[in-house]
Amino acid sequence: MKGAIALEDGRVFEGESFGVEGKKAGEVVFNTSMTGYQEVLTDPSYKGQIVTMTYPLIGNYGVSPDDVESAGPKVEGFVVREYCPYPSNWRSTGSLGDYLVEHGIIAVSGIDTRALTKHIRTAGAMRAVIAAGEFDADNLIAEARSSPGLVGRDLVKEVTCEKSYEWEEGGNASPGAYHVVVYDFGVKWNILRCLSESGCHVTVVPAATRATEALSTTPDGILLSNGPGDPAGVPYVVEEVGELLGKKPVFGICLGHQLLALALGGKTYKLKFGHRGANHPVKELTSGKIDITCQNHGFCVDIESLDQREVEITHINLNDMTLEGMRHKELPVMSVQYHPEGSAGPRDARHLFGKFKEMMLGERERKDD
């Protein structure tokens, strides 16, 4: 079956389908991780996006139920150079192609993904349509042009949980464990695993949960999760985040970090082609220590927009000097733009979960005094 991806600026790349037949619009972005396609596919932050992997050989190790970041793929489409239908890894339970078909995902192989990547790099992430089966290239371009794009759109509501639940996997929680309420904007399960493994009791709540409701469960801390799209698309969340500040320790990751910035009066903007990969060097400014981080974001907090009397810049990206982390000078509030839970990517920054625990401990001690 034929497949293609058509871009709003008229570029069309044709290849072969290895997913389901159909057509879908989304923003086309590239990810530079050399492993971790299943984590990428199931990362809810990719909602609304068609992802191309810069690494050309995809599917090599198949799929495994252990390597998912949510219940199923969230991407709108998947574009690779060469798909391998014969996976090899002892944990593999099946091929990537079968997995994508099972979950109704359109996927195209045989694409000059380097050319596509370079195009996105110079022209910017843009709207596109991925198609498999019978299609007309000109129609696809037209459809790409009339698709909604990401700016200002609420994609969180499409990936957040319907109702709150307790996270059980990898649980280490013992009596007296910290209770963390996780705002699910499209949370990656590895964040929940990391919290759990570090001994926290985790409750996941829908994105639209009122602050009062979240606080009523007497958590030790609140985690604002990652998620897809434009932070400006979810003003109702920003409001609630504002309500949480000063009440409980808050830790924001990725979209959670951006929402926190908005709640603190900052502004966000769209990056030309975003940061998506597993090799981004981030410097912690106080210690000078550098972590190699996993990243996935198309929007970014404007450093200039932050009130630096109130907010301290804690981390910056060494490639483009954009904001990677901040903390409130008075309140137990911190956030990072990158993914301390890794997956797919290095585990350098996992210590941040420890730091979050310290914040919660500090809060408990403060209350005890």
| Of the residues 65, 86, 175, 367, which one makes contact with other proteins according to CB under 8 A | 86
Cβ 342 to other proteins, closest distance in Å? 6
**77-85, 134-142, 253-261, 303-311 -> range binding other proteins (CB under 8 A):** 77-85
> By CB under 8 A, is residue 47 in contact with other proteins?
no
Cβ 147 to other proteins, closest distance in Å? 24
> For the chain, what is the HEC assignment?
CEEEEEECCCCEEEEEECCCCEEEEEEEEEECCCCCHHHHHHCHHHCCEEEEECCCEECCCCECHHHCCCCCCCCCEEECCEECCCCCCCCCCECHHHHHHHCCCEEEECCCHHHHHHHHHHHCCEEEEEEECCCCHHHHHHHHHHCCCCCCCCCHHHHCCCCCEEECCCCCCCCCCCEEEEEECCCCHHHHHHHHHCCCEEEEEECCCCHHHHHHCCCCEEEECCCCCCHHHCHHHHHHHHHHCCCCCEEEECHHHHHHHHHCCCCEEEEEEEEEEEEEEEEECCCCCEEEEEEEEEEEECHHHCCCCCEEEEEEECCCCCEEEEEECCCCEEEECCECCCCCCCCHHHHHHHHHHHHHHHHHHHHHC
Cβ 148 to other proteins, closest distance in Å? 27
Binding residues for other proteins restricted to 99-128, rule: CB under 8 A: 112-115, 117-118, 121
> By CB under 8 A, is residue 153 in contact with other proteins?
no
**205-213, 214-222, 283-291, 302-310 -> range binding other proteins (CB under 8 A):** 283-291
Question: Judged by CB, which is closer to other proteins: 175, or 288?
Answer: 288
> By CB under 8 A, is residue 81 in contact with other proteins?
yes
Indicate which residues carry an active-site annotation: 254, 339, 341
Question: Judged by CB, which is closer to other proteins: 56, or 72?
Answer: 56
| Of the residues 66, 162, 365, 368, which one makes contact with other proteins according to CB under 8 A | 66
> By CB under 8 A, is residue 96 in contact with other proteins?
no
Query: Could you list the residues that contact other proteins (CB under 8 A)?
Result: 13, 30, 32-36, 38-39, 54-57, 60-61, 64, 66-67, 81-82, 84, 86-91, 112-115, 117-118, 121, 277-281, 283, 288-290, 292, 318-319, 342-348
